[in-house]
Amino acid sequence: MKQRVQTLLREKFERDVVLEKPKDRSFGHFATPIAFSLAKELRKSPMVIAEELASSFNESDVFESVDSLKGYINFKLSENFLNEYASYVIENPADFAKGKHKEKILLEFVSANPTGPLHIGHARGAVYGDTLLRLGRHLGYDITAEYYVNDAGNQIDLLGLSLQLEAQNTLFDMSVELPEKYYRGEYLTDLSKIANSEFGKDILLDSTRQKELALWAKDRVMELVVSDLKDANIEFDTFVKESSLYSDWDRVMAKMGDGIYEQDEKKWIKSTQFDDDNDRVVVREDGRPTYLAGDIVYHNKKYEQGFDHYINIWGADHHGYIARVKAAIEFLGYDSKKLEIQLSQMVSLLKDGEPFKMSKRSGNVILMSEIIEEIGSDALRFIFASKKCDTPLEFDVEELKKEDNSNPIYYIQYAHARIKTVHKKSEKSEKEISDAKLINLNADADALLFDALLLPEIVEDAFNSRQVQKLPEYLKTLSASLHKFYYDHRIIGEENETKYLKLLNIVALSLKTGLGLLGIEAKDSVYKD
């Protein structure tokens, strides 16, 4: 819709035109402040320019009216145009809000260490990433969802140690002393039991077998992670293991040429050349590559696959890392601007206004699985998708269990279910409804129709700006319009019954499509039995 108008205006004005939502819906459907920017060139007042431009529009199929007001030009779409678009949408529901983009994008997200189940902070990045993925794919982008598994280094050794200590403590009653740095949580108890029955006691007692134990355990933990993600409707296409990358290190290091130098028997990357605070060590004195080396090989691997664009979603605590990775990419001879890094901020939870109590089993963090048990995957996804991911977020789990309009997910599902019920009660046939023409309606119906048809713009905008919260925001607004319309107008038995039902169909489709893009299934009933 917007694109159509934009194209028309671009042809007319021979330049790109900013189109926005008018302050007041009664002004029209779209508006542009173009007269303000022309004012300087033409040396005339914006008011005059806007008036001249507005009156230069002839009667057309698309616009019912074009008016100027205080320097803005307001466009009102014609009922005919809206009706035709509505019919197209109803006949091609699966294509609603789809796009024609073609670019290949590699989207890396979550990438939590395989040393424990996912916690609430991971969940936010996971939901954000998966929502972007769904939006992008709907728009036509060819996106690969990738998880980077940090299955090498000290943390894996620590996992082996933690598992042994846990077993010695809880399984064998040895009451050993637990060091500060060690993983905790119920999953360790579970894993130690499995290890015990699968390999015998020895692997949990013999410190020389820690490594062996760890290598086994990290794969089990990854299974936990994958299952946590699956519970939230999140799946990945590819998993890249850090441990598989180091064999390529020598080749990749050579590729960076002058970017690498030697000093104090270590190898450094000259990342200060690209705005980093310090140069970074990539190979230690003893010849072992650092974590950064793995990440460099990893990003080289990404770029060698020739995607058009790369998106990484990182926890905000990694922001110091951006400069060095981008520097490495430049040294490798690639364009670091193709790599975009989105940071996801911390989350804190409340329950009845008090800090959410962590269960004993989880150690010292709130687990993603606990929250899904508490409020369900739908509510979790919705709340995380509704907030900009780079601002800290606090929410109360009790708010998300309520069944009234303080709970947006309920409010939206209710709107959708209401429409379904009205349909069931009506005796009109599907054909009668889809044949109805949405013209000569009242202002309320016109407004609701326009709102429902706005989804494509929202999806496009939410993805392009990476601000996925625009979609939940839109769905809330659309639901409110629906509820209001429903309150103000009786539908069954009215003169406009078929028209109204078609209109409601479009609203329902918009809600359903939007929810689907959030990884949430629209419900036909909100009753709990």
The interface with RNA within residues 143-182 (CB under 7 A) comprises 150, 152-155
Q: Tokens 């042809």: give the residue.
A: 11
Report d(CA 342, CA 313) in Å as an integer. 5
Residues 88-117 that bind RNA (CB under 7 A): 113
Using CB under 7 A as the binding rule, the residues of this chain from 393 to 412 that contact RNA are: 393-395, 403-406, 408, 410-411
- Only segment of 5-13, 37-45, 204-212, 514-522 that touches RNA (CB under 7 A): 37-45
- Given a contact cutoff of 8 angstroms between Cβ atoms, the answer to whether 237 and 145 are in contact is yes
Stretch that binds RNA, among 52-60, 121-129, 246-254, 467-475 (CB under 7 A): 467-475
Q: Which of 285, 304, 354, 521 binds RNA (CB under 7 A)?
A: 285
Report how many residues bind RNA under the rule CB under 7 A. 91
Q: Find the angle CA(290)-CA(293)-CA(298) to the nearest 5 degrees.
A: 135
The Cα–Cα gap between 340 and 353 comes to 37
Q: What is the footprint of RNA within residues 215-254 (CB under 7 A)?
A: 242
Using the minimum distance from each CB to RNA, give the nearer residue, 167 or 327.
327
Q: How many whole angstroms separate alpha carbon 312 and alpha carbon 299?
A: 11
Could you tell me if 302 and 255 are in contact, meaning their C-beta atoms sit under 8 angstroms apart? no
- Smallest distance, RNA to C-beta of residue 410, A: 7
CA 246 to CA 197: how far, in whole Å? 33
Nearer to RNA by Cβ, of 171 and 281: the residue is 281
**Residues 340 to 379 in contact with RNA, rule: CB under 7 A:** 346
Token pair of 183 as six digits? 């993983």
DSSP, collapsed to helix, strand or coil, labels residue 185 as coil
Q: Residues 119, 218, 280, 512: which binds RNA (CB under 7 A)? A: 280
State in angstroms the smallest separation of the CB of 198 from RNA: 26
Q: Pick the binder of RNA from 209, 420, 428, 437 (CB under 7 A).
A: 420
Helix-helix angle 322-331:291-304, to 10 degrees:
50
In this complex, which beta carbon is closest to RNA, that of residue 204 or of residue 407? Answer: 407
- Residue 422: how many CA atoms within 13 Å on its side-chain side? 27
Give the burial class of 80: count Cβ atoms within 10 A of its Cβ; 0-12 exposed, 13-18 middle, 19 or more buried. middle
Cβ atoms of 107 and 143 closer than 8 Å? yes
**Dihedral (CA of 449, 452, 457, 458) sign:** positive
Place of tokens 């040294």: 331
Q: Contacts with RNA in 14-33 (CB under 7 A)?
A: 18, 20-24, 27, 31, 33
Q: Does 432 bind RNA (CB under 7 A)?
A: no
Give the binding range for RNA (CB under 7 A) out of 219-227, 330-338, 434-442, 478-486: 478-486
Residue with Cβ nearer RNA (158 or 204): 158
Choose which of 164, 192, 271, 386 interacts with RNA (CB under 7 A).
Answer: 386
Nearer to RNA, 71 or 363 (CB): 71
